[in-house]
Amino acid sequence: MDKPAKLIIAAQYYPPDKTTTAVYVGRIAHALAEDHRVVVISATPGSGDMNSPGNPAVVEIGHWHPPKSAVAQRAAGICLLAARMFFSILKRAKSEDIVFCVTTPFTLPYAVLLAAKFRRAATMLLIYDLYPEALEAAGLAKPNSLAVRLVRFANTLLFPRLDAIIVIGRDVPPLIQKYPGVEARRLHYIPNWALVPIGYREIDPTNRFRASDPSQFIVALSGNLGFTHDAATVVEAARLLQGERHIHFILSGWGVGWNALNDLFAMDRLENVTVLKPVPETELVEFLSAADAWIIPYRRGCAGVSIPSRLYNILAVGRAVLLASDVDSEAALVLNEEAIGWVVPPESPVELARAIREAAEDRQATTEKGKRAAEVAAKYREELAFTRYRQAVRGVKQAQGLSD
């Protein structure tokens, strides 16, 4: 590289990976490359083959991908990735650069941004999941455990020293500002956006994803279910509604939460539930349009911890949302502000079943919520997000006295 990069983006996931994180990071990198010299350091196989004039330069580093079931090996793998990223940043970053890191995996920011500080480069952090809060909400660590205390200590050192912190939910800043020295002016709220074309889709009785009886009210669940999601609430709500034949559930997705959901479904195959294999991206719009309303189920204590990016795609096709979540979460704020769905307490099958019953009993009102949802989705367009990302980068440059 003859010239130092103006902006170095460190991310585990990047196209051609198809995960939501990879898609968002890829689009952000391409948008910023219109105004800045961008280098992406990626751990995604094949990402280094995507270099072309006018696009971000991609440096691919090797990464060990043990199976998800091998917990100890995966822990070692993310630590090894962090170490490789540390040396890659140390090799490439200069004092006139900005190093931009994504919080996936959670070990990455500490290594990447430490290397950036060694090189006296400016630093930016994009928070998709907040740790250790995500570990606590998922029940993987206790609040006073050694792991949680170590991560909090690392955050105490990291957060106040960042030049910019980008959050995708308004529920995140209160958690970050609990750390001493974090200045509000360095926090930037930039929500994600819909990845499908925005526009209300009429319910089509012939849609192949609808149940055998197209007149039924279809409530659906889709996407990646992680540790912060609660599949049991959905299954139990379906059990409570199994006597109401006009309501049918369609479930499709992946992730650790789906393993739990499939186990629950296998124990008692409910007649009002259809479980499908993960729907390919090419069929996503048709699938999202098949349901009358969509469920997003969270565990308790997930406000500010995990943001449902799937929300924006649901809004984009014009569907009401049934959200099980804390009332101060970003998704709950959107639904209540815009009147486009129902917010019920997390881990409460009775309340979720009640909201589903209400949505099914007044289909016209549910349809109107969906139509408003499509209008609201226009507030979350990618060009608006890109403008905010450019402003955040420009602000860091100005604060550091860097030229464009």
The reported pLDDT for the residue numbered 290 is: 95
What pLDDT band is residue 404 in, cutting at 50, 70 and 90? low
Distances (CA, A) of 266 to 50, 85, 235, 392: 42, 42, 11, 48
Contact criterion met (CB below 8 Å) for 370 and 322: no
- Candidates 311, 296, 277; CA nearest to 209 is 277
pLDDT for 69 beyond 60: no
Sign of CA dihedral 123, 309, 18, 316: negative
Mean pLDDT of 287-311: 90
- Candidates 36, 114, 105, 43; CA nearest to 74 is 105
Arithmetic mean of pLDDT over the chain:
91
Q: What is the pLDDT of residues 111-168, one digit of tens each?
A: 999 999 999 999 999 999 899 988 888 788 898 899 899 999 999 999 999 999 999 9
Query: What is the number of residues in the chain?
Result: 404
Tokens of residue 363, six digits: 């289909």
The highest-level CATH class for domain 7-193+381-398 is: alpha beta
What pLDDT band is residue 2 in, cutting at 50, 70 and 90? very low
The reported pLDDT for the residue numbered 116 is: 96
- From start to end of 119-172, where are the E strands? 122-127, 164-167
The reported pLDDT for the residue numbered 68 is: 60
Question: What are the residues facing 126 on neighbouring strands?
Answer: 102, 166
Angle (deg, nearest 10), helices 363-377 and 310-317: 110
Alpha helices in 159-267 (DSSP H): 173-176, 231-240, 256-267
Helix and strand numbers (H, E) in the chain are 14, 13
Q: What is the pLDDT of residues 87-112, one digit of tens each?
A: 999 999 999 999 999 998 889 999 99
The reported pLDDT for the residue numbered 259 is: 79
SS3 at position 236: helix
Q: Do domains 7-193+381-398 and 217-380 have the same CATH topology?
A: yes
Q: Where are the domains of the chain?
A: 7-193+381-398, 217-380
Q: What is the pLDDT of residues 240-269, one digit of tens each?
A: 999 999 999 999 988 877 877 888 877 888
The reported pLDDT for the residue numbered 55 is: 86
The second-level CATH assignment, the architecture, of 217-380 is 3-Layer(aba) Sandwich (3.40)
Please, how many CA atoms are within 13 Å of residue 358, restricted to the half-sphere of its CB? 14
Among left, alpha and beta (phi > 0; psi -120 to 50; other), residue 139 is: left
What pLDDT band is residue 4 in, cutting at 50, 70 and 90? very low
The reported pLDDT for the residue numbered 403 is: 67
